[in-house]
Amino acid sequence: MSVTSANPPIASSPSEPMLLAKPRNMWQDAWRRLIRGSNGRIGLAIVTLIVLIAVLTPLVDPYDPTTDSNMVESRKSPSAQHLFGTDRLGRDVFRRVMHGTRFSLVVALVSIIVGNVLSTAVGMIAGYYGGLADSTILRLMELMQAFPAIPLAIAIVAILGPGLLSTILAITIVGIPGGMRVARAMTLSLKNLDYVDAARSLGASNAHVILRHVLPNLISFVVVGATLGVGGIILTAAALGFLGLGAQPPTPEWGVMIADAVPFLRQSPHLAMFPGLAIMVTVLGFNLLGDGLRDALDPSLSGTA
Amino acid sequence: MTTYIFRRILIVIPVLIGVSILSFFFVRLIPGDPVRVMLGERARPADVQQYKAQMGLDQPIYIQYIKYMEQMFKGNLGQSIVTRVPVAKDISYRLPATIEAIFFALLLGIVLGIAMGIVAALKRNTIVDTGASLVALTGVSMPVFWLALILIYFFGVNLKILPPGARLDAHLKITQVTGFYLIDSLLMGRLDIFWNVIKHMILPSFVLSTTVMPSIMRLTRASMLEVLQKDYIRTARAKGLAMSKVVLKHTLRNALLPVITVIGLQVSGLLGGAILTENAFSWTGMGSWFYGAIVGRDYPVIQTAILLNAVIFVLMTMLVDISYAFIDPRIRYK
């Protein structure tokens, strides 16, 4: 099988018979465009930093939230010793914010990856085969989408019981219909293209067509959609933590930390301030990276909302 | 046109039935026996049986569903198993509270979002454009509940110019007629109460509006830029029409079409945001009601709240589709 659809040839007009530069594949090309755009560059820098913090903090500074308390130091304002101050139990807020990074990232990454793999697979199968299965799946997804996202996530967590795992599951389930419908719609238009017909007439199996010809052509959309979705997921996870339905105290999850700070808003506003800023910077980083990736992977969409 | 509206309404009916089935069975999946929650762990078995029979919980689940729907069409939505207050009564004052907040949030989000989008598009690639994008980006990246707390601290605690929560100062009494405090206070002829209600509304509406403003702004900008490149805009400019006229008469009308669709989709975000905002501001609306029911495992309330969320969402999407057809004749003939 020599039909490769993932590498569209670099455009060359008839007046230029030969390409001087070595052709780059889609991902190399996208990488160059990502680095060139300021959104993508800033986003990539923030996300890299956040990932480093998430990975390195537990290695550099082992932390057990269940034994961390020092009542003498309760609710101190930010100082050189405690950069972000201390909370009700005298715990260093800076330390807890750093340790909180990995909880947000794990929730976001697991639900984004599981959710997108599932929704893309189901979407491709539904779109490719059509028929009764397709319309059944589509109706079900429409029904799920009739429920607003956050209330639905809260209801799912209520069934499963509060916790980080329930948060991941609820967010994954809520995200599936949207991704599935995008994958399905793209498969519908892709499966009628000439090169798919050509592959089929050469005797390619359905599985081969889906994996080698449909998937490579919608993967960039999935990647952009997934990156742009991370921010929203981190916000939802923090919201569930804030409502007491997500991670449970004393886990240093950012939403939980803000909920802990509410009774002391009057005297110690810094307790709520810093975890919120951490959420904001992280979400901002992923949103910028997503914008940059979208511009890089599909230049025709550049500048649209 | 009438056929289009009629067809659009017909599509909604199976969705609403599906939604009612889903929200009914959904609630039965919640672990924990509601009777045990209500009567306590040491209740006598006989009491438990009697209570179950009273609530219809001992019958097969499909009969429970049919009975539920039957009662609902009679206007009886059951009663809270925690407070024993009829669900319909709770809704009668909580739904207006949420609609009031969402209405002003949407208004604020649309007006500010569209205005910022237009300015950003007209001043493309200037500092104004960058500034507007930055505001929008910060807006989508900020947790709503956190923004609420920061504003409560700043305006409510520190500056003391706006109340930190609730719908009305505690010493003021309002006679409820419609449940909409702005209307009720005017019906009472009490401008001081009206003003007090507005002051309570500013922070929650603003916080809630940040969930819709960024996407409206970004879409308006993108859509304006697209329309501004069109030939008929160039023609209008070439024949000497003032830029302000071109923007208002030729560009805006066409650019706002996609924006309307997106406003419909934002309702989902608003209903989710309402849960968080109402909690932060102790706003006695649907969001805080739903949350309280989840925490208290209050079956009838959760069921109705989930259903109501979905119904509002489905109906809003329908209204947006219909209004879209009014504005863009091409839709009607599809």
pLDDT above 90 coverage of chain B, percent = 31
What's the DSSP call for residue B43? -
ipTM of the predicted assembly exceeds 0.85: yes
Task: With a cut of 70, say whether residue B247 has pLDDT above it.
Answer: yes
* Domain assignment of residue B11, yes or no: no
pLDDT exceeds 90 at position B173: no
User: Closest to B310 (Cβ–Cβ): which among A147, A273, A281?
Assistant: A147
Please give the DSSP secondary-structure letter assigned to residue B179.
S
What is the residue-averaged pLDDT of chain B?
86
Paired tokens of B32 = 């924990």
**What pLDDT, on the 0 to 100 scale, is given for residue B264?**
77
HSE-CB for B129 with a 13 A CA cutoff? 13
CA separation for the pair A84, A92 (Å, rounded) = 7
**Per-residue model confidence as pLDDT tens digits over B176-212:** 888 888 888 888 888 888 999 999 999 999 999 999 9
> In a mutagenesis test of the B interface, which of A50, A140, A154 is the best target, namely the one with the most B β-carbons within 10 Å?
A154
> What does the pLDDT read at residue B60?
81
pLDDT for B69: 84
Residues with Cβ within 8 Å of A176's Cβ and at least 6 positions away in sequence, in order, are A115, A118, A119, A122, A141, A144
Q: Answer yes or no: are the C-beta atoms of B300 and B81 closer than 8 Å.
A: yes
Backbone angles phi, psi at B58, to 5 degrees: -95, -5
Select the more confidently predicted residue: A18 or B82.
B82
Contact B245, B315 (CB under 8 A): no
Q: Give B145-174 as a DSSP string.
A: HHHHHHHIIIIIIIS-SS-SSSSS-TT---
- pLDDT band per the 50, 70, 90 thresholds, residue B320: confident
Whole-model pTM over 0.80 = yes
Residue position matching structure tokens 């910028």: A288
B84 Ramachandran zone, left/alpha/beta (phi>0; psi -120 to 50) = left
pLDDT over 70 (residue A9) = no
Give B196 or A5, the one with higher predicted confidence: B196
On the question of pLDDT at A303 being above 80, the answer is no
Q: Which domains are present in chain A?
A: 99-298 (1.10.3720.10)
Name the one residue in this structure whose structure tokens are 């005017």. Answer: B186
The tens digit of pLDDT for each residue in A89-113 reads 888 889 999 999 999 999 999 999 9
Beta bridge partners of A92: A86
CB contact under 8 A, B276 and A147: no
| pLDDT score for B40 | 60
Nearest-CA distance B229 → chain A (Å)? 14
Total domains in the fold of chain B: 1
Residue A159's pLDDT band (cuts 50, 70, 90): confident
pLDDT band at A18 (very low <50, low <70, confident <90, very high): low
Residue of A nearest to B30 (CA): A159
pLDDT digit string, tens, across residues A21-68: 666 777 787 888 887 778 889 999 999 999 999 999 999 888 888 777
Is A113 part of the contact surface with chain B (CB cutoff 8 Å)? no
From chain B, the residues in CB contact with A155 under 8 A are: 26, 294, 302, 306
Q: What's the pLDDT score for residue B294? A: 87
Confidence band, pLDDT 50/70/90 cuts, at residue B120: very high
Is pLDDT at A6 greater than 70 in this prediction?
A: no
How many whole angstroms separate alpha carbon A235 and alpha carbon B179?
32
| pLDDT given for residue A305 in this prediction | 40
Instruction: For chain B, say whether A263 makes contact (Cβ under 8 Å).
Output: no
Q: Is B228 within a domain?
A: yes
CA distances from B187 to A85, B180, B183 (A): 50, 11, 6
A151 has a chain B CB within 8 A of its CB: yes
How close B163 comes to chain A (CA, Å)? Answer: 14
pLDDT for the residue numbered B316: 85
Q: Do B152 and A238 touch (CB under 8 A)?
A: no
Q: Are B63 and B55 in contact (CB under 8 A)?
A: no
In a domain, B48, yes or no: no
CA distance A235 to chain B (A): 6
Instruction: Please tell me the distance from the alpha carbon of residue B167 to that of residue B104, in angstroms, as a whole number.
Output: 14
Q: Which pLDDT score is estimated for A1?
A: 40
pLDDT at B87: 87
Query: What is the band of B266 on the pLDDT scale with cuts at 50, 70, 90?
Result: confident
Rounded Cα distance between A81 and A59, Å, is: 21
Strand partners, B79: B86
Contact B145 A142 (CB under 8 A): no
Rounded CA-CA distance B240/B200 in Å is 49
Q: ∠B143-B146-B152 over CA atoms, to 5°?
A: 140
Q: Count A/B contacts: CB-CB distance under 8 Å.
A: 133
Within 8 A by CB and 6+ apart from B219, the residues are A305, B117, B258, B259, B262
* Inside any domain, residue B128: yes
Which residues in chain B have their CB less than 8 angstroms from residue A149's CB?
268-269, 272
Q: What residue of B is the nearest CA neighbor of A285?
A: B141
C-alpha span between B278 and B101 (Å, rounded): 9
With residues binned 3-state (H G I as helix, E B as strand, rest as coil), the percentages for chain B, rounded to 5, are 75, 0, 25
Cβ distance B294 to A235 less than 8 Å, yes or no, reads no
In whole angstroms, give the CA distance from residue B80 to residue B297: 10
Helix axes B2-28, A131-145, angle to 10 degrees: 80
Segment among B32-36, B151-155, B207-211 with least mean pLDDT? B32-36
Quick check: is B293 in a domain? no
Residue of A nearest to B306 (CA): A151
Nearest to A148 among B272, B291, B297 (CB): B272
- Of B122, B144, B156, whose CA–CA distance to B205 is shortest? B144
Residue of A nearest to B258 (CA): A305
Inter-chain residue contact B291 with A304, CB threshold 8 Å: no
| Cα A180 to Cα A123: distance, rounded to the nearest angstrom | 4
- Which residues is B86 bridged to in the sheet? B79
Q: Is the pLDDT of residue A15 over 70?
A: no
Q: Band the pLDDT of A302: cuts 50, 70, 90.
A: very low
Helix (H, G, I), strand (E, B), or coil: what is residue B229? coil
Residue A231: closest CA among chain B residues belongs to which residue? B141
pLDDT of residue A289: 93
Work out the minimum CA distance from B271 to partner chain A, whole angstroms.
Answer: 7
Q: Which of residues 95-134 of B touch A (CB under 8 A)?
A: none
Q: Point out which residues pair with A86 in neighbouring strands.
A: A92
- Alpha-carbon gap, residue A192 to A282, rounded angstroms: 40
**Judged by CB atoms within 8 Å, which residues 129-188 of B form the interface with A?**
137-138, 140-146, 149-150, 152-153, 157
- Tokens 């007009």: give the residue: A13
User: Is B51 an interface residue toward A (CB < 8 Å)?
Assistant: no
Chain segment A215-260, per-residue pLDDT in tens: 988 888 898 889 989 999 999 999 999 999 999 988 899 999 999 9
Is the Cβ pair B140, A287 closer than 8 Å? yes
> What's the 3-state SS for chain A?
CCCCCCCCCCCCCCCCCCCCCCCCCHHHHHHHHHHHCHHHHHHHHHHHHHHHHHHHHHHHCCCCCCCCCCHHHCCCCCCCCCCCCECCCCCEHHHHHHHHHHHHHHHHHHHHHHHHHHHHHHHHHHHHHCHHHHHHHHHHHHHHHCCCHHHHHHHHHHHHCCCHHHHHHHHHHHHHHHHHHHHHHHHHHHCCCHHHHHHHHCCCCHHHHHHHHHHHHHHHHHHHHHHHHHHHHHHHHHHHHHCCCCCCCCCCCHHHHHHHHHHHCCCCCHHHHHHHHHHHHHHHHHHHHHHHHHHHHCHHHCCCC
Residue A290: Cβ within 10 Å count: 23
Q: In chain A, what residues touch B310 (CB-CB under 8 Å)?
A: 146-148
Residue type, A281: V
CA neighbor of A26 nearest in space, from A297, A305, A244: A297
Asked if residue B220 is part of any domain, the answer here is: yes
Q: Please give the share of chain A, as a percent, with pLDDT higher than 90.
A: 40
What is the 8-class DSSP label of residue B297? Answer: T
Tens-place pLDDT, residues A117-153: 999 999 999 999 988 989 899 888 888 888 888 889 9
Residue A286 has pLDDT above 90, yes or no: yes
Q: What is the extent of the structural domain holding B238?
A: 90-286
pLDDT digits (tens, 9 = 90+) for A184-223: 999 998 888 888 889 889 988 999 999 988 998 888 889 8
B101: domain CATH number? 1.10.3720.10
Instruction: With a cut of 80, say whether residue B56 has pLDDT above it.
Output: no
Give pLDDT, residue B64. 80
* A147:B222 CB<8 A: no
Per residue in B75-102, pLDDT (tens digit) is 888 778 778 888 888 898 899 999 999 9
Question: Is B18 contained in some domain?
Answer: no
When scoring B262, B294, B301, B303 by the number of chain A Cβ atoms within 10 A, the one with the most, hence best to mutate, is B294
CB proximity A97 to B under 8 Å: no
DSSP code string of B74-99:
TT---B-TTT--BHHHHHHHHHHHHH
Q: Nearest CA to CA, how far is A148 from chain B (Å)? A: 5
Q: Is residue B116 included in any domain, yes or no?
A: yes
CB contact (8 A) between residue A147 and residue B306: yes
User: Cβ contacts (< 8 Å) between B19 and chain A: which residues?
Assistant: 143, 146-147
A161 interface with B at CB cutoff 8 Å? yes
